[in-house]
Amino acid sequence: MEFAFTDEQEMIRDSAESFLQDVSTSEAVRSAMVTEAGYDSELWQRICSQMYWQALTIPEEYGGLGLGYVELTILLEEMGRRLLCSPFFSTVGLGVNALLVAGNETQKQQWLPQIAEGSLTATLAYTSRNRWDANSVDVIARAEGDGYVLSGTYKYVPDGHTADLLVIAARSPDSQGQEGISLFALPAQADGVSRKWTPTMDQTRKQAEISLDNVFISADSLLGKSGEAWADLEKVLQLAAIAVSAEQCGGARQALDLTVDYTQERVQFGRTIASFQAIKHRAADMMVQVECSRSAIYYAACVAQEALFDGAVGDELPVASALAKAYCSDAFFHCAAESIQLHGGVGFTWEYDPHLYFKRAKSTETFLGNGAYHREKIAQAIL
Amino acid sequence: MKISFSPEDEQFREEIAIWLKENLTGEFEQLRHRGGPGDEHMFPEERKVWEQHMAKAGWTCPGWPEEYGGRGLSINQQVIFHEEYARVGGPGHMGHIGEGLAGPTIIAFGTEEQKKRFLPGIVDGTEYWCQGYSEPSAGSDLANVKTKAVLDESSGQWVINGQKVWTSLAHESDWCFVIARTEPGSQGHKGLSFLLVPMDQPNIEVRPIEQLTGTSEFNEVFFDEAVTDAANIVGKPGDGWKIAMALLGFERGVSTLGQQMHFQNELDEVIKEAQKSGAAEDPAIRQRIADAWMGLRIMRYNSLRMLSGPQDGSLQKEAMIYKLYWATWHSDLGKLAMDVRGADSEVLPEGPYELDRLQSMYLFTRSDTIYGGTNEIQRNIIAERALGMPKEPKGR
Ligand SMILES: Cc1cc2nc3c(=O)[nH]c(=O)nc-3n(C[C@H](O)[C@H](O)[C@H](O)COP(=O)(O)OP(=O)(O)OC[C@H]3O[C@@H](n4cnc5c(N)ncnc54)[C@H](O)[C@@H]3O)c2cc1C
């Protein structure tokens, strides 16, 4: 056991930190977030060709860097800190994870090298309802000929309107709950797929609705076993929840930093507001939550790494992921809300940044289930 | 970064597990799960015997360097040691103040003679220590210490006058480390010294203070011309503040892992109670139990991050949040322990005021957010030292 970063991991953080500080400024975020795509494709291409982040967790045999979940978590934490607008989370946190967990050799060979070279983005679509468990899978896949015909509508799909490859979940007719679920890899341009951007309160994270109208998918695009994919899907969702938590942790950190900086400048009653104990103590409480978020995601990242590569503590993935998502969701919300409060009136303006974090906090809290949802999962595991 | 243990470490786990299984038996059986925080007044003599028994097999101060009588365990092995110790309900260490505070301070700042004189007694479990910091007018404002010590050249002894208060386990201790003012007329951090004072002398009076639990774990200690040898000063006269602060850093060392294992046992007991009472079905309670479980996991990784940093008593950011976090977590657990019992939580046996383990834990957790620097003081420290916010104005 070694609960500290290696020199290489520290280097990854340093380079991410300085790169993002330059490219994901408040100005850059604001100009990307008002576009429908939600990101600057030139910047994304720069990330893919210079930083190679999209290839980070892809094994070397598929053209990737073959690094692990701890490295990924470091990147996501820094991205969350700068609210980076990019298809990174959807492509890597959802798409790559799904292919790694559920794809067979041929499928990995088909898709991962394209993602690694930066020519393909991906996402995961599974829920049709306002919930995140197995019962939310409502799109129907009928077996037909040497494939399946799919119909139904997916909601809340991250970058669903721009992703090139969709990993989708669907269920066999008349199945329920965790039974009958299958996963497929579907190029977004396939016949019968229609996609619509869903405008959202948090403009830094785009969502879409995807409708399938009798879309034919051949059997070789089935990921894993027909009707038995819930276990894989659940694992992908757990890995993705850790990825979101890492972004939340970074967001919470930045909300704290913004707040401390501002309170050190703002003068009232002849002294900086940072000198008031009421404010110091609230900042201290924010820091406790930020540091605990970091412990939570680093722990979860170590577990995720072992879960992907059959390590000894990999079976802690369900609780580690629920822990990270529950803790970081609440911590980010708390820190972002405090950030607005401690900025006073300017915290309530469009011009200052706290609202961007406050909105990101809420959208990421909801996505894949909020704190209460994940705490109940833990309760089920320990009670 | 990696959280699984190596095969060698797992082998070490087996070694300590077997030793505990074979030794925590017979006369020691009754000590299982006893003597932890809130229960420190229980079985003091028996726990001292247990400590000496552990010492003979080399299991006291296992993280200390071998040259000072420790076992020189790596951090990983210490983690494992604490895990296994708690797993079997190992009794609360009578010598934790010596092992965790006095010893590391003497190792870091003491002279060779002091190391030779004091460390063996801590390792053997034959000499016990208490902490003489707080005074009636020096609580959070520790620098306001008024107890005086003067070096009497003719007798070669420090002569000490003053009063300490809230001194935990003073009545069970052989030695006390005392912060005293050695520079007449000095104020605040200056002019303080760190003295090692024998408790067994007529000029020291220990008076127990009854706590809200009805038991007495802490005391008032009066020094009336009390003495200690001139050599029993750690550092130089005037270094007292620096050393006192470094010691607080040791408080956040590996011993925190043992404390967490104890918390885990308490949480397990709360979960059992919740299952017994049916509270485990209540959605609101389920949320709180899950929260407690998560909080403890996070505490573990907070301390593992902290332990992977420098071990010289200096404070990194992770370490600064540590006390506030665990104290708050533990007092929440205390309340949860009562809430899962519902109305039954009130009921005591007939006879003298006597609490069971969870009741006493519940009440005792009210002190966690007070001793060792209150939550408010912790927040000041975090804001000022970790976040660089302005210092509190002083009234003098
Ligand atoms: C169970 C227990 C065991 C103990 N054991 C020992 C021991 O072995 N040795 C020892 O030396 N001491 C011991 N103590 C003493 C302990 O360290 C002190 O009680 C503690 O430091 C607080 O000091 P005080 O009691 O004088 O409270 P005060 O300092 O008077 O504090 C009262 C309240 O005011 C708040 N406050 C004070 N200053 C500030 C500030 N600047 N900003 C904001 N709020 C402030 C505090 O947070 C607290 O809420 C023990 C205490 C307890 C409860």
Distance from the Cα of B4 to chain A's closest Cα (Å) equals 5
Domain of residue B364, CATH code: 1.20.140.10
Whether residue B34 lies inside any domain: the answer is yes
Whether residue A2 lies inside any domain: the answer is no
Using the mean position of ligand 1's atoms as its centre, give its distance from the Cα of residue B170 in Å.
Answer: 17
Average pLDDT in chain A: 97
**Residue B307: how many CA atoms within 13 Å on its side-chain side?**
22
Interchain proximity B379–A285, CB inside 8 Å: yes
Residue after which a domain boundary falls, among A171, A202, A223: A223
Whether residue B393 lies inside any domain: the answer is no
Whether B54 and B90 map to the same domain: the answer is yes
Whether residue B269 lies inside any domain: the answer is yes
pLDDT at B254 over 80: no
pTM as predicted: 0.96
- What's the rounded mean pLDDT across residues A364-382? 98
Closest-CA residue of chain B to A324 = B294
Interchain proximity B390–A288, CB inside 8 Å: no
Domain of residue A165, CATH code: 2.40.110.10
Residue nearest to atom 32 of ligand 1 (CA): B140
Whether B293 and B195 map to the same domain: the answer is no
Residue after which a domain boundary falls, among A81, A101, A119: A119
Interchain proximity A274–B390, CB inside 8 Å: yes
Q: How confident is the model at residue B310 (pLDDT cuts 50, 70, 90)?
A: low
Using the mean position of ligand 1's atoms as its centre, give its distance from the Cα of residue A333 in Å.
Answer: 32
Residue B226 structural domain: 129-238
**Would an 8 Å CB–CB cutoff place A376 in contact with chain B?**
yes
Provide the ipTM: 0.96
Whether B263 and B229 map to the same domain: the answer is no
Percent of chain B with pLDDT strictly greater than 90: 85
Interface test with B, best of A263, A291, A309 (most B CBs within 10 A): A291
pLDDT by residue (tens digit) across A103-149? Answer: 999 999 999 999 999 999 999 999 999 999 999 999 999 999 999 99
Residue after which a domain boundary falls, among A188, A203, A223: A223
- What's the rounded mean pLDDT across residues A283-287? 98
Whether A273 and A337 map to the same domain: the answer is yes
A332, A251 Cβ separation under 8 angstroms: yes
Whether A348 and A318 map to the same domain: the answer is yes
Whether A160 and A205 map to the same domain: the answer is yes
Size of interface A-B (CB pairs under 8 A): 150
Whether residue A1 lies inside any domain: the answer is no
Out of B4, B271, B382, name the one closest to residue A382 (CB): B271
Residue after which a domain boundary falls, among B238, B273, B299: B238
pLDDT at B351: 94
pLDDT at B396 over 70: no
pLDDT by residue (tens digit) across A166-207? Answer: 999 999 999 999 999 999 999 999 999 999 999 999 999 999
pLDDT at B314: 56
Whether residue A279 lies inside any domain: the answer is yes
Out of B1, B274, B325, name the one closest to residue A3 (CB): B1
Domain of residue B45, CATH code: 1.10.540.10
Residue A150 structural domain: 123-223
